[in-house]
Homo-oligomer: A and B are copies of this chain.
Amino acid sequence: MRSFLGRDILSLRDFERAEYFRVFQVADDLAPYARNRRNGELLKHKTLVTAFYQPSTRTRLATEAAMHRLGGRVVGFSDVKMTRAGDFYQESIKDTVHMLEYYGDVIAMRHFQQGAPAEAARWASVPVINCGDGWGEHPTQVLTDLYTTWKELGTLDGLKVLLVGDMRMRTMHSILYAMSQFDMEAFVVSPPEMSLLPEFKAELDARSVRYREVPAAADVVGEADVIYMEPVVQPDYTKSRDERAGEVGQTPGAYRITRELLRDKGKRGAIVLHSLPRMDELPLDVDTTRHARYWIEAFNGVVMRMALLALVLGAVE
């Protein structure tokens, strides 16, 4: 297994099976800091630079919280609007990175353009962690999701995963790449205009990823061990909260996972994952079923970032 020291976390395309389990092991080892709510000192001498060109409060805060739990420091920016006027909005990634690399010891980057974190990694003298790049990938989120699945179900091999939502989303790319390393099978459910792109499907085929496109979640929910969701409807931020209230119910039934569907057709031990925020594809009354695992996913999100930061900074072997 390649060393994690100094390594960039850009994509799950090149992650190997043993590496997943190494990351899970470190996550297990570090989880007590989070569980006991007691910040440690493992990264006491290190600084994280958060370079978020798009606001993403969950991913940013989970990463920063992880750094603090291990005693590290955080500097950075959380929105390109804060940097636009007189700053590096239009600057090349190279120029920006040759500044950021001196502000800390690892860079966590969210960018609206696919490939930007990889371009940053090309120039940086410190590791770069991709926190979501356009339609590209979202490796730290999907590592969280796989870790959650592994913890909740005890294994990844032999599982059937129902993917529901917009298949162009970066999380869907990362999770399907990951499946090449496990004995997993995917059902893919999305609106036609949000389906897997042909070139991505060709790549999955080349990697022997087993997946099947299905019209509606209800068709296959009975076989799924894991239900993995993304919204198919995006909120209309030009409307007020009250105006938007009337929009609930707009997700077509084929892409919703309801309490009734889980009760009538779901597998007994199936778990539902959702990185949130949600629209109406996942009604609130699912929260109090035995299937919901999205809160523990949020907890694991911090733990996973702790593991990744500790690994690339060399605080654990």
Contact = CB atoms under 8 A, between A and B. Distances in A.
Contacts of A95: 276-278
A2 interface: no
Contacts of A100: 61
Contacts of A92: 284
A40 B45 CA distance: 7
How many copies make up the complex?
Answer: 3
Contacts of A295: 98
Nearest to A65: B103
A187 to B, nearest CB: 26
Given A38-B45, A73-B39, A87 B55 contact: yes
A95 B88 CA distance: 32
A65 B244 contact: no
A208 to B, nearest CB: 33
Interface string A60-104: 011011001100011111110111111111111011001110111
Interface string A209-227: 0000000000000000000
A292 to B, nearest CB: 10
B278 A87 contact: no
A289 interface: no
B102 A65 contact: yes
A249 interface: no
Given A34-B102, A37-B105, A65-B102, A87 B298 contact: no
A interface, by DSSP: helix, strand, loop or mixed?
mixed
Given A39-B73, A277-B95, A86 B55 contact: yes
A284 B45 CA distance: 34
A3 B4 CA distance: 46
A267 interface: no
Given A56-B87, A103-B302, A277-B87, A78 B77 contact: yes
A269 B94 CA distance: 25
A81 B81 CA distance: 10
Contacts of A102: 34, 62, 65, 298-299, 301-302
Q: Which of A38, A79, A105, A277 has its CB near the most chain B CB atoms (within 10 A)? A: A277
Contacts of A94: 284, 287
21 contacts: A37-B126, A39-B46, A39-B47, A47-B65, A47-B68, A47-B69, A49-B65, A55-B85, A55-B87, A57-B87, A62-B102, A64-B103, A65-B75, A68-B104, A81-B81, A84-B237, A86-B234, A88-B277, A89-B241, A94-B287, A99-B298
